[in-house]
Amino acid sequence: MGYSSPPKTVYWLDNTLYLNVTNKCSSNCYFCLKRYRKGVGDFNLKLASEPTIQQITAELENALHMRNWAELVFCGFGEPTERLDVVLEVTRWVRTHYGRPLPIRLNTNGHGYVLNPGRDVVDELQAAGIERVSVSLNASDRTTYEEICKPTFAGAYEAVLDFIRKAKAVLTVEVSAVRLPEVDLGRVQSVADELGVPFRVREYIPCFY
């Protein structure tokens, strides 16, 4: 398998199964892997079109029984909450069709409430069966966030903080930031501490290889 292979909605690294449900994103982070590569490992993640729920669950059905996965994670070349209803429906499908308990996590940029106005996003995630979220905070202030993440709407940094506050009321939450020259990781840690959630540093994958 390689990047010449058809794009995948389901892929895996080690013992974790991942779902690539969209390539759409409300950020345009300069460090994003999809700016430089077509995939991860041997998996092509550049979707030709937005996959249907039926396409995703068909791929999942084949992959779920390959091994005893440690976790299922919504994380690909886009922001999963751009397709919130797909995330919810696929999560419910897994909870119905998979025989053993499987932790399900959402990796998100925290823009879910802006992308889905009028909806109780984290309550819907929890009700569907998602237990954990990892939120890419990536900065300790609005200016730095806008510089490196280039969100498509105003007030994005504050929207991420609001998402974290709402999510931690019903889900297990961690926040993360990429190790970059512009990012003061100590200050991001302080923001996480103020929010009352754990913080994890993600290593930057450079585009030169």
Specify whether domain 10-202 bears CATH 3.20.20.70: yes
CA distances from 88 to 84, 122, 160 (A): 6, 11, 20
C-alpha 205/C-alpha 209 separation (Å) is 10
Cβ atoms of 188 and 199 closer than 8 Å: yes
Q: What is the pTM of this model?
A: 0.93
Domain parsing of the chain, residue ranges:
10-202
Per residue of the chain (209 residues), give pLDDT as tens.
455 678 999 999 999 999 999 999 999 999 888 887 888 888 999 999 999 999 999 999 999 989 899 999 999 999 999 999 999 999 999 999 887 789 999 999 999 999 999 999 999 999 999 999 999 999 999 999 999 999 999 999 999 999 999 999 999 999 999 999 999 999 999 999 999 999 999 987 664 43
Say if CB 111 and CB 151 are below 8 A apart. Answer: yes
